[in-house]
Each structure stands twice: as C-alpha cells, then as structure tokens.
Structure 1
Amino acid sequence: MYPKPVTVDNAIPVFKSWAPDWLVKVILFSLLLPSIVLFFLPLSNINAAAGYYGSEPADIQFSVALFYAGYVGFYSLERRFFLYLASREYFILFTFLQILTSLVCYHTRELYIFFPVRFFQGMLFSCTVNLSLSLMFTRLRSERAREVSFSVFFGLLLCAIPFNNFVTADLIDSWNFNIVYKGALFSYLPCLCMLMLSMNNVRPDVRFPLYKLDWQSFTLYSIALCLVGYIMIYGQEYYWLEDPRIRYSVTGIVVLLAIYLFRQRSMKHPYMDLRIFRFRNFKVGLLVLFMMYICRFASGITNNFFATVLRLDPMHVSYINLFNLAGIVAGVIIACCMILQQRRIRYIWMPGFILLLAFHVSMYFLFDVQANEFSYYIPLFIQGLGVGLIMVPTIVYSISSVPVSMGASASAACLAVRYLGFCVSIGIINFFELYEKSRHYNAFQDHLTRLDPGVKQVVSTQVRQLQARGMAPGPSGKAAGRLLVNAVNGQGQLRFAMDYYEMMSLLLVAILLLIALFPYLNRTVVYLRSGRLSPA
C-alpha cells in the first residue's frame, strides 16, 4: 500500500553526494542555532523588552513560556508531518515560516499579536529539532557519534541564555529591542540557501497520509501547558487563588488534563504512551530532571543582583556570564566523556549536584551591597559546570530506561517535565521576589524612622555630600531621602536573594541524600541503545 522506505541505506540519500558528513552536521546545527537563540531571546534583556512592548516583565516571561509550550505541545503531533513531507520541502517550509514569524515580531508592539506568534515559533522549533536530529542520527553509525551529537544539541540549548545576553547586549543598548528579531531573520537566510543546494527531495521513511491527526489531544495538551505557565508567572502577582483568573485557570487545567488522560487510555495510538511511567528508572530520571531545572534558573537572580544592587550595565553582566557559559561547555564535555565510558549514573549526578550546592552556598555569602565582580567568576563557572554535567546524562538516562518503541513518548515526557521545571522555577522566584522582598522592606520600615540616630547620621552625611557637589539645601534633603529608600530596596533585594538561595541549598542537600541512599542507582549505567533515539 505504501511505497518502499527511502533511507540513506537503500535509495537516494537525503543529502547530495558532494556534501560530506561534516558539512551535513554543520548545516543541521547552523539551522538549529537561530531557533535556539529565538527560544530565550526576550529574556536577553527583560527590562528593555518590557519597555519596548509597553508591558511588565511578567509578560515577557510569559512569552518565553508560550514558546516552550508550543514546543512541548506540538512535539508528538509533529512526527506525523515529518513522516508525510519530504525532508527538503519540509525544511524549506518551516524555515520560511520562521523567517516570517521573526518579521512579524520585528514589526509588532502589540502583545495580542506577539503572544500567538511566540507559541507558533515554539511549534516551528519542534519541527527544526525533530527533523534535524532525526536526520543526523540516521547518518551516525557509532554510539560515540550519536552521544556526542546529542550532547552538542543540549549544550547549545543550555548556552542559549548566556549566549543571547552576550550577543544582544550591545545591540539592545544601541537600538530598540526589536533589532534582535531582525538579526534572527537574516541568520536564517544562509541556512535556507545551504538546504536548497545540498538536499535531495526524498523522504527518510515511509510516507504516511495526514488523516486522523490527533489535533484534539494537541489542543487539550497545549492549552493546559499554557495555563500552567500563566499560573506560575502571574500567580503571586494576583495573590494566587484569591483572583478569579487564577481559579478559573486551575479549574481549566484539571478539566483539560482529565479529558486528555481519558483519551490517552481509550485510544489505540495515544498521543503519549502512559505506560512509560511504569518504569522506575524513568520516574527517577524525571524527578532529577525537574529538580535540576528548578535550580538551573537561580542564575537569573544573580544577574538581577548585578544589575540592581551592584549597578552593572547589561554589557558587563553579559561579560561576567561568559564564565557561566564556559562552565556549561566544560560540563557538557565531561558528561559526554562519562557517558561514553558508561559510568554509573550516581557518579555523574553526585558531582553535578555538589557543584550546584557549592554555587548556592557561596553566593549566599557573596551577596552584598558592595562587592568586587571578580569574586563571582568562579561561582558562575561552577554553576555552569554543574548544570552541564547533569543535563545530558539525565535525559539520556530517562529515555534509555524505557523500551525503544516508547522512546518518542519518553522524550515527550522529559520535555514536559523540563517545561514544568522552567515554569515552577519562575513561580518560586516570583514568590520570593514579590512576597519576601516586600516582607523585608516592611521589616526595615518598622525599624527605620526619622528619630533613629543611625538614620539621622546617614541622611545628614548624604545631605552634606550632595550640597558639596552643588545641590541646594532643599532639594538635597529630598534626594537624601530617596537615596535612603533606594538603599532599603537594595537590602530587600539582597535578603530575598539570600532566602531563595538558602531554600535551594536545602533542596540540593535533599537531592544529594536521595541519590546517595537510593541503592538501585549504584548499579545503573547510562547509554544510548538506539540509533533512532528520539530527541527531547
């Protein structure tokens, strides 16, 4: 009924004969790179983005969550399009659509246009990842090559935020925020030209018709994911369940997930095979991945501390984050070597989480209103090293814990857990920033009054300094009061950051105890068992 599969082994190859393997890998990764940059692009300078769109920082965070939700929700449905369309025309189609969406983001300032486009960009990113890595895995003959390519992809994903900060800091400082989308738009053009020149118009597998697309499950799943992101990002600002928008969102998630799970249990070919949750190693891997993602985004608080307390400009913050980027690269390389040596997963996780614990503890003592930026180089490198050491082995461990036939569902579950970890980390940070920061501010207000001798001395010193620089007596008193308020806000920022890092340190200690006391991990190794491993 269907034509014979067209693969790289028995028919016309996907890439033309003049394109060697190294060039194919360069083309595929060069196509991935602009899409990865688009992923966290609004977070490269969240204040500049919020100012450009006339919104608040939470809206910019939600735009990233929408991109992530589109990636997660469309992942399973995208495989049908991958099997239906020829690789060359499929690449050209979604690359052209990515250029079009970047053009829309460049020209719009309206959130009601920006948000849906970001979700659609996430869907296109799912197409890019699935097709690029699937074609790459079919060309890799050895286990070593597959694991190296897998590590490179996730290394690029981990490097997205510090890389974006470094590349876009000068651009955003010189032009409007939307210039970054113009740069992303032009970065796709060389990739598109190389694809058209180097690829044959063939399919890497059997062509399956596009009937019976499970768009219902995609819709239920995607809306639930978007609501999770909405609750986690705006929940503390709206006082959680006290606001009807949050209550309706929680109710919607419960109803949508109930319908979704009922559909999956009753369908012959479910959107996600729920039998993957029967495997103990898979569940342990998901737990570790979730915890790691919560701890991973603590570096955002450090960047906020650099900008608001130490008063470093975005360019200097991006330079400091190069140490974090170097740590990620080193961690991914070390983790890849340990996977190739088939080391036990405990010997990979333990050093990674110990490094993250060292980062959080050291930063707890390094937070201060005055500091030398050189003191933060090593902690940021340690944080990147720990994240890079944990990320790839955990995903490979989780996917390889289930049968090969369930690999796609396992990848989809890992992707969903990473999205939940991202949203929950934002929710926890927002809670500490809005609630704990205001609590500390009120505590300072209770003790700082005009009658306090220490306050009098500080204000009078600031007044004398301002008058010595030429300010009149009246305005100098008001300016000294504002400086005092800014100092109190800085102390609130410090205390909130210290509270958050203290909680993360306790969480990391609990994770280390779990890894150390879980006996089954002592004899569990991590390796790739399939040349057709699904990318997560």
Structure 2
Amino acid sequence: MEQSIYINNWLNRQVGLVRVSLILILFAAVAQFASFGLIQAHVVSFYGAQQEDISFALQIAYVGIIATLPIQFRLQKHFNTRSYLLIAFIAGIVLNVGCLFTHDLVLFSILRFLTGVITCIVAGCILIVLFTTLPEPNRMLVGVSLFFSLILTCGVLIGIGASWVVLRANWTEIYYGLIALQVMAILLCICIFKARPAMKPYPLYQIDWSGGIIFMFGAAATLYVMVYGPKRYWFADPAIRNTAIFAIVSLTLFLFRQASLKRPLVHLSVFKFGKFIFAIFLMLLFWGIKDSINLIYGYSVMVLGWNSADVVNSGLFNIAGVIVATFIAVKVIMRNKQNLPKLLLFGFAIMFYYHLLVYRHLTPDLSFAELCFPIFVHGFACGLLFVPVSVFCIAAVPQSTGMTGIVICTYTRFIATLNSIAGYYTLQLNYNQQFKESFLSKLTPENGLVTQRQELYKGLFVSKGYTPGEAAGISNMLLAKSLSIQSQLLTLRAIFLIGAIVMALVFAILLTFAVVNKVKAARAG
C-alpha cells in the first residue's frame, strides 16, 4: 500500500484507523485557526478594541496560510514527515501559550499570523498523506471532500467547545483546550508515522523565497484595505489609499516574478485554461455568497437575543446539512463524473431557495425551530456545491502544474472572504441608513400611528410607577430600538434578495453552458 511510505508497518492494514487519526490531527491544526469565529464579541471586549481590529487580527492567520502553502508543498518533501509535524505542533503550543498571556493587539496579530503558518504546514502535510491512503481512482474526490468538509464545519465544531467555555469561564480558557488537542495530535503523530520514511528528501533549491515574502506583504496589505476600508470611506482616507497602492504594486511584482521564473511558486499557465477560469469564478461566487450565513447568526444575536450556545446549536443543523449533502455529492460523482454539472445546477438552485426563504420569512420573532430550517438548507447547498466546485477547479488543470490548482483555490477562498467582509458591511451600512432615513421622515406629530404607540408606552410605564417625564423618555428609547430593529430586518431582506438574484443568474449561466455543451456533443456525435 502506498501509505506505507509514511505510516508505520503495523498500521498498514488498519486503513480506516489511519484515516480517522489523520482527520483528528488535521482538526487539531485547523481548530486553532477557526476557534474564535462565533465568540468575536468576547475577544473584542478582552482587548478593548474595535470590531475591525479584531477582524484583522483573526483574518491575518489566513494570510499566513496562503503565503506558506506553495512553499509548504516543497518543504514537506525535504523533511522527515513525523519530525516535521511534531515541530509544527510544538510551535503551535508555544503560540497558544503566547496568545493566552498577551494583552497587546499588535502582538496578538503577529501570533495569529504565525498560527496560520503552522496551520498551513500541518494541513498541507496531512492532505498529501491522506491522498496516499485512498485508492487512485477516487483519491482526489474523496480526499478533497474529507479535507474541505472539515474546513467548512470546523468553525462550528470548535464553537461548541468555545461556547461552553465562555458560559462558564473566561474565554481565554479556550487556549487550554487547543493545547490539549495539539498534545493529542503529537501522540497520534508519534504512533502512526514512521521515524524514518522510505523516501529520499527532495532538495530545497530555487525556491522563490523573495516572491513568497512579497506576496505575504501584498496579501496583508489587501486584508488591511478590505477590513478597514468600509469603515474609513475607502480611498478618502490616506492610509487606505497608500496601503492599496502598496498592495497593488506588491501583488503585481509577485505575478511578474512567477511569470518569469523557471520554478515558480504558482504556475500562471493554469489561467490559459478556460474551464479553470470558469471554475474559479464559480468558487469565488460560492465562497462569497455562502458567508451570508453570518448575517443569520448576527440577526439571531442582535434581534432574537440568542446567546453563543444557541448560535452554536443552530450551527449544528448547518453541519448536518453539509455532511448529508457531501455524502450525496460524493456518491453521485463516484457513480458517474458526468453528474458534476447537474450537482452544480442543483446546488445553486438550493442556494437560491435558501436566500429566497430567508427574504420572505425573516421577522423579529422567529423561533429556534423556524430559523434552523434555513440554516440546514444553507448547509445542504454548501455540501452539494463545494465538492463539485473544488473538484472542477483542480481537475481543470494538468498534473504538470503540481499543486497550483489547490493553491489558487485557497487564494480564491481568501479573496471571497475579504469581499464578503467588505461587501456585507457596506450593504448593511447603506441599506440601514436608507431605511432609517425613510422611517425618520415619517416620525412626525401628524403621524397617528407614532403618536398612538408613544402614548401606549407612556401609559404602560406610568401605570408601573414611573413619572410622566421618565415614561416619555423610556417610550422614546423603545421607539428608537423598534426603528433600529425594523431597519436591520429590512436591510437583511434586501441583502438576501440580492443574493437570490445573483444565485438565479448563476443558475441561468450554468444552464446555458450545459445546453450549449450538450448541443455541441450531439453535433460532434
């Protein structure tokens, strides 16, 4: 068996056990990257910073991942796999200890960047080893499905433990759980990996270290622009303008280097293939639009008043949808690879239904059960889409380009995340302002409904023992809160309507391509 290159001989026949162990090791690495997604409010209060500062500090880990990934695939071939992973996890423990005791946001951001580097080292290594445990015909399909399923669901899975911690102790206790996971991963690595794998080390020469550093600074600058830009009116702010120029120059220089080097980090020749460009376009839309689930979680906290445990529990329905749909997608593709376009059509149709469902049924008093259904539908759509889209991207480029397909997919995920952060914030800001101004224009003494609501509030509080002046003040506060909630609901409905329209357009484009290809195939036949 091919996995005997890495795996101890006594485990060669325990393929299932090896795969489970690899997934647990991967989870221990990814958990430290995705551990704060559902408890950002606690991190904000701990550092006393603005929301955008924490977003930048958390997302900078992704810069560490994408900057390290193309180099990681070369490094892995040079070092002993077990020693490589052990050093990475030990470094991860040190980073978590550092995060546990630091109160400086700049230092926390640096540690988060290094956390992304460690996550990439482990995830990239485990992905390669996981491929060797799978049969050749289904290696890419099953490997990518397992890998990206964990990436997609890890945030909610680790959020279960995070929510349990924040309800009972200081949120920083999460680091002890992360360290425990890493200790478990170290023990698993010692048990399953050979001390000396049966392979020659790949020589490290002509690695574009300079290009990697240039890309790292360019990606970090891009992150800064997309996180802080919407809050500072974009290019009206000199810092945003200068950082954007620096990002453009850095990334342009990186692309120029990759086009001119004999052994580049990224083979730009993949963009000569039309199918790959189309697949990247689909992936960009999918990863960007799927983040609308974060608006649902925000709505459940701000409007419905859920705590973090309720949010995580609702997220379990999302995970259930992902798992069920992923299993269906893998089975359908394994039966016939020609079913992949049909899965894409069906997946985007379900994503359209999800956005339309939320648009039509969003109210200020949805129950837990009522909201969990669209959350499940979202997970089901994601499970149907991310496997076909990922396989489509990777299979659209020749094997001679190495891991460039996976690297570009990771870049695309990063870009889509930044677009969703900036895009959803800007849309909420604009629509909220628009609806509030519309409401305020109607809050006049001549409006009988407003006067009636104010008098109702006043009478209620006066009956509770408040003075008329206090009752009037409280009634105005309640009216303002009601106006804010209604504005937010209308804003979310407008955004989900846009999402439904975009998904309908994507469905129409895919349907058109499918019909055209079928006609061409019929003529060729």
TM-score range, shorter chain: over 0.9
Equivalents in 1 of 2:202, 2:138: separation in Å?
31
Percent of pairs with identical residues: 22
The alpha-carbon distance between structure 1 residues 519 and 204, as it changes in their structure 2 partners (threshold 3 A), is farther
Aligned: 1:156 with 2:143 = no
Judge conservation of contact 1:84–1:209 (CA < 8 Å) in 2.
yes
Judge conservation of contact 2:457–2:475 (CA < 8 Å) in 1.
yes
The 5 Å alignment of 1:427-506 reads 427-450=422-445, 452-506=447-501
Aligned: 1:332 with 2:326 = yes
- Further displaced range: 487-496 or 61-70: 61-70
The alpha-carbon distance between structure 1 residues 220 and 204, as it changes in their structure 2 partners (threshold 3 A), is farther
Name the SS for the 2:103 alignment partner: coil
Equivalents in 1 of 2:136, 2:73: separation in Å?
24
Aligned: 1:318 with 2:318 = no
Judge conservation of contact 1:52–1:176 (CA < 8 Å) in 2.
no
Aligned match of 2:345: 350
Gaps of 5+ in 2: 520-525
Equivalents in 2 of 1:520, 1:124: separation in Å?
45
**For residue 407 of structure 1, what is the amino acid of its counterpart?**
G
The CA deviation at 1:485 is: 1.1
Judge conservation of contact 1:171–1:180 (CA < 8 Å) in 2.
yes
Q: Which has the higher helix share?
A: 2
Aligned match of 2:523: none
Equivalents in 2 of 1:32, 1:398: separation in Å?
22
Aligned match of 2:18: 24
Aligned: 1:378 with 2:392 = no
The 5 Å alignment of 1:60-459 reads 60-144=54-138, 147-203=141-197, 205-341=199-335, 342-450=337-445, 452-459=447-454
Equivalents in 2 of 1:262, 1:201: separation in Å?
41
- Further displaced range: 49-58 or 196-205: 196-205
Spell out, residue by residue over 1:225-269, the C-alpha distance to the aligned partner (whole angstroms, 9 max, x if none). Answer: 122222222111100111111111221122112211221122111
Equivalents in 1 of 2:54, 2:158: separation in Å?
15
Name the SS for the 2:365 alignment partner: coil
CA RMSD of aligned residues (A): 2.0
The CA deviation at 1:50 is: 0.9
Structure 1 segments, 4+ long, off by >4 Å, are 519-524
Equivalents in 2 of 1:408, 1:38: separation in Å?
24
Spell out, residue by residue over 1:340-363, the C-alpha distance to the aligned partner (whole angstroms, 9 max, x if none). Answer: 122332201011001110010010
The 5 Å alignment of 1:513-532 reads 513-519=508-514, 522=517
The CA deviation at 1:451 is: 5.2
**For residue 116 of structure 1, what is the amino acid of its counterpart?**
I
Name the SS for the 1:269 alignment partner: coil
TM-score, with structure 2 as normaliser:
0.94
- Further displaced range: 245-254 or 160-169: 160-169
Judge conservation of contact 2:25–2:188 (CA < 8 Å) in 1.
no
TM-score, with structure 1 as normaliser:
0.92
Judge conservation of contact 1:68–1:119 (CA < 8 Å) in 2.
yes
Judge conservation of contact 1:42–1:60 (CA < 8 Å) in 2.
no
Aligned match of 1:40: 34
**For residue 387 of structure 2, what is the amino acid of its counterpart?**
V
Equivalents in 2 of 1:468, 1:315: separation in Å?
36
Spell out, residue by residue over 1:421-471, the C-alpha distance to the aligned partner (whole angstroms, 9 max, x if none). Answer: 111011111101222212222222222135533222212212222333444
Aligned match of 1:533: none
Equivalents in 1 of 2:43, 2:502: separation in Å?
32
The CA deviation at 1:512 is: 0.7
Gaps of 5+ in 1: 1-6, 525-536
Judge conservation of contact 2:206–2:263 (CA < 8 Å) in 1.
no
Judge conservation of contact 2:100–2:175 (CA < 8 Å) in 1.
yes
Spell out, residue by residue over 1:395-423, the C-alpha distance to the aligned partner (whole angstroms, 9 max, x if none). Answer: 11111111112131111111101111111
The CA deviation at 1:204 is: 5.8
Equivalents in 2 of 1:404, 1:455: separation in Å?
67
Equivalents in 2 of 1:145, 1:278: separation in Å?
25
Aligned match of 1:512: 507
Equivalents in 1 of 2:10, 2:467: separation in Å?
76
Equivalents in 2 of 1:305, 1:144: separation in Å?
40
The structure with higher relative contact order (CA 8 Å, sep 6+) is 1
**For residue 106 of structure 1, what is the amino acid of its counterpart?**
L
The CA deviation at 1:474 is: 3.2
1:14 counterpart (1, 6, 12): 6
Equivalents in 2 of 1:105, 1:153: separation in Å?
27
- Further displaced range: 262-271 or 351-360: 262-271
